Structures are given as C-alpha cells and as structure tokens.
Structure 1
Amino acid sequence: MENAPVDHAAASELWEAYRAAHPERATDTEPPSVERFGDHPELTDGLLGLVLAGAKRATATLAAEFAAEGQPLPRVGSHWIACDSTGRPRVILRSTELRLATFDEVDEAFARDEGEDDLSLASWREGHRAFWQRVSRSLGFEWTEQHEIVLERFEVAWRAE
C-alpha cells in the first residue's frame, strides 16, 4: 500500500494560518516543502505520531533524495510541512540544527532524538539501513554507508487543528 498524494492546497492554508499568527517566525523566502516521513502508510503515520507526541525531534534524509526531488537542502530556521499517509498536512516543523554526515558518523544522541524503536544507535542503524536500501532502489541507485545524510533536528512550530 502506498501513501496518498499530499494535499498542497491544505498545506498552503496551514502555512498561511501560521504566517498570520507568527509573522516574526515565518520569514522563509519561499513556501515550505510539503513532505511526509517514511515510505508507506504504517511508517508514515507511526513516525508522525512520534513527532506529535514529542518523542521524535530529529530526522535523517539522504542528500540524494533532495537532489532527486530537485529540492535544496534545508536551512536552520526554515520550515517544512509534514503530512500523514492520507496526504493531510498535520504539522509545520522548523529546522533548528543541520549537519551532513555519513552512516558511521551518526551518534547515539542523534539516534535517541529520532525517537524511533528502542532509541539505540544499533536499532537506528538497522532501521535506516533497510529504509535507505528501499528508497535508493526506488530512485535508481544503490545505497552505501558512504552516501551523505542530512541530519536535521527540528521543533514543532504549528499543529493543524
């Protein structure tokens, strides 16, 4: 089963509500990207649930994924909108820390901040290795542990009602 397409119109409405309420924070020069966590409904909704519960405060994305989608890398202070598996925007996130790393450069603290599984680096590596192998195949390349990863910490800036 696949995730539904994201609802860009609803995401724009959510962004405009946030901008009206917090013009001092919503200073992005371009509209935020509209994304989702994971690559299938169960994973997408599970990870989004961790974000909404406050357990997940970080995410890791292959730099090649941004390139494949023609998107620039995020910047500290930039926003993005996370959708659930039905495509409905649920939350606006604001990037608070970014760094590039390879698989073996990810540490325990980052794995814990991702909020997944048992919060250990070992489970982070197991889950992300499997995920990136799937994602890279779908993008037409073979993932290796030397591919650059964008490590991003974020805060919840605004929740959809």
Structure 2
Amino acid sequence: MTEITEAADRADEPLPKAEFAFPGPLRDQLVAAILDGSKTSTTGLVVDYEHEGEPLPVVGERAVVVDSDDRPVAVIEVTGVRVVALADVDLAHVVDEGEGDETVAQWRAGHEEHWHGAEMRAALGDPDFTVDDATLCVLERFRLVTDAELPDQLPEP
C-alpha cells in the first residue's frame, strides 16, 4: 500500500472537474450521495489515471463536482489517498462510498460490472479490459466543502 499525503499548492489554477462515473443515472446517484453527505470516498483505477495522463489526487486538492449535464454542483476537498491492490480494499472504504454496499464482495461485484462495462472499456481503449486482485486502485477520501468555504466564482462547465 502506498500512502499519498502531499498537498499540492495550486491556488492560482482553476479548480479541476470531479466526474463520478459516466453521465447518467449512476452519476446522478453518486452526486446526490455526495450532496447529502453519505458519500465521502470513491475508487478509481491507476490504469485510468495513466490512460488519461492525469496525476493521482493529493490531500488538500479541491475539485468541482459536476452532474450529468456537466453543471457544477459542489466542491470537494481530498482528505486522503491510498493506492492499494483491488484485493486489499477494506470495508470502511466501501461503506464510505455511500452506495449501500454492506460487504466488500458486494461492492466489488458492482464495481467490476462498471469497470468491465462497454463505456469503461471504450474510455480505456481496451475492449477486453478486466480487473483482478492485483489491479491497483486509488482509494480517495474527501469532504464536501461548505458554502462559506467556496470561492466567489466557480469555473464554467
């Protein structure tokens, strides 16, 4: 397991966009869970970050959460980041994803369905993409930033 705790000093740059799942019902569900406070963690795949040429999130980094219509709806701040093998995802992380999963096996089945889906395989450019126990996952914890903490102007979608 790798613990990532360095804060990035990017105060001059506009906030990056945080997109949960692909636009549609799942994204709408996840955004609603962020807004109601039940979702405080998320899981990404290292391979996805690498494919997109994106750096892994860092503690202290803020991002604008967008809905399925690409409208800004909230700001979150990263409070923790770990890179672990899929086999090592723990129940606390699973529960904090706020999707109602009560076991790691239940969570994994749902996530594998997403990761093995046509949209994800197309996004990665690999029609045969699959995960296994050794697949590296980015376990991100975050908090919802309150209105009082928000910048005066958010970036346009």
Shorter chain as denominator, the TM-score bin is 0.7 to 0.9
What RMSD in Å do the two structures reach over aligned CA positions? 2.1
TM-score normalized by the length of structure 1? 0.76
Query: Structure 1: which 4+ aligned runs deviate by more than 6 Å?
Result: none
Q: Does 1:147 align with 2:138?
A: no
The count of aligned residue pairs is 136
Q: Distance in 2 between matches of 1:119 and 1:88?
A: 31
The answer to whether residue 100 in structure 2 is matched with residue 117 in structure 1 is yes
Residue 57 (structure 2) aligns with: 74
SS in 2 for 1:154: strand
Paired residue type of 2:22 = D
Q: How does 1:6-155 map to 2 (within 5 A)?
A: 28-29=10-11, 30-134=13-117, 136-138=120-122, 139-141=124-126, 142-145=129-132, 146-155=134-143
Q: Match of 1:22?
A: none
Conserved? CA contact 1:136–1:143, under 8 Å: no
Q: CA deviation at 1:140?
A: 2.1
The verdict on how the C-alpha distance between 1:113 and 1:123 changes in structure 2, with shifts beyond 3 A counting, is same
Query: Within 2, Cα distance between the matches of 1:91 and 1:111?
Result: 22
Q: Which runs of 5 or more residues in structure 1 are unaligned?
A: 1-25
Deviation at 1:144, TM superposition (A): 1.9
Identity %: 35
Q: Give the Cα–Cα distance (whole angstroms) in 2 for the partners of residues 51 and 35 of structure 1.
A: 12
8 Å Cα contact 2:23/2:69 also seen in 1: no
Could you tell me whether the CA contact under 8 Å between 2:94 and 2:101 is conserved in 1? no
Larger helix fraction of residues: 1
